[in-house]
């Protein structure tokens, strides 16, 4: 059910980071930067697109790999190491299947040029229309 003011997001994240996020109940964006994580609000829905298995030398994935509902009010900083304290936002992940992105691009309004369909995902975290969210989610949960 859509709620007033609810927004829908795609977050471009490598598969290994998606798996860590599912396990930890959080999302992060922009390699741990906090600025754009202030935009999603509790109740917003987020789909994850994974271009690769990992950031350094990973193999191509090019799938929608997870779905979450934002639960956190504001980002928090996590300690990973002395050199890395990423900003995160609490999220509750839902059961779904990974699906290839390319077969869906002709149905998604945020993909302006199907020939270069991967370009929008380079933005990292970005809002999408509710209809695009519904199109992707139907494949992930169908």
For the chain, give every domain's residue range. Answer: 8-141
SS3 at position 29? strand
Q: What percent of the chain shows pLDDT beyond 90?
A: 87
Please state the φ and ψ torsions of residue 20, each to the nearest 5 degrees: -65, -40
CA distance 52 to 18: 11
Task: Report the predicted TM-score, pTM, of the whole model to 2 decimal places.
Answer: 0.95
Cβ(47)–Cβ(9) below 8 Å? yes
Region 77-106: mean pLDDT is: 96
Look at residue 1 and tell me whether its pLDDT is greater than 90: no
DSSP H or E segment with residue 132:
helix 130-141
* Confidence label for 44 from pLDDT (cuts 50, 70 and 90): very high
Place of tokens 């193999």: 59
User: What pLDDT is attached to residue 5?
Assistant: 86
So what's the architecture of 8-141 in CATH?
Answer: Roll (3.10)
Look at residue 21 and tell me whether its pLDDT is greater than 70: yes
């Amino acid at each position: 059910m859509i709620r007033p003011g609810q927004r829908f997001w795609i977050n471009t994240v490598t598969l290994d980071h998606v798996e860590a996020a599912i396990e930890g109940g959080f999302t992060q964006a922009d390699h741990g930067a906090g600025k754009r994580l202030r935009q999603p609000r509790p109740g917003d829905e987020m789909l994850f697109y994974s271009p690769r298995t990992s950031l350094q030398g990973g193999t191509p994935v090019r799938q929608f790999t997870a779905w979450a509902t934002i639960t956190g009010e504001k980002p928090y900083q996590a300690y990973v190491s002395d050199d890395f304290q990423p900003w995160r936002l609490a999220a509750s992940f839902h059961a779904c299947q990974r699906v290839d992105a390319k077969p869906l691009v002709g149905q998604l309004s945020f993909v302006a040029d199907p020939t270069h369909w991967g370009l929008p995902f380079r933005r990292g975290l970005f809002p999408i229309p509710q209809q695009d969210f519904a199109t992707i989610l139907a494949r992930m949960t169908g």
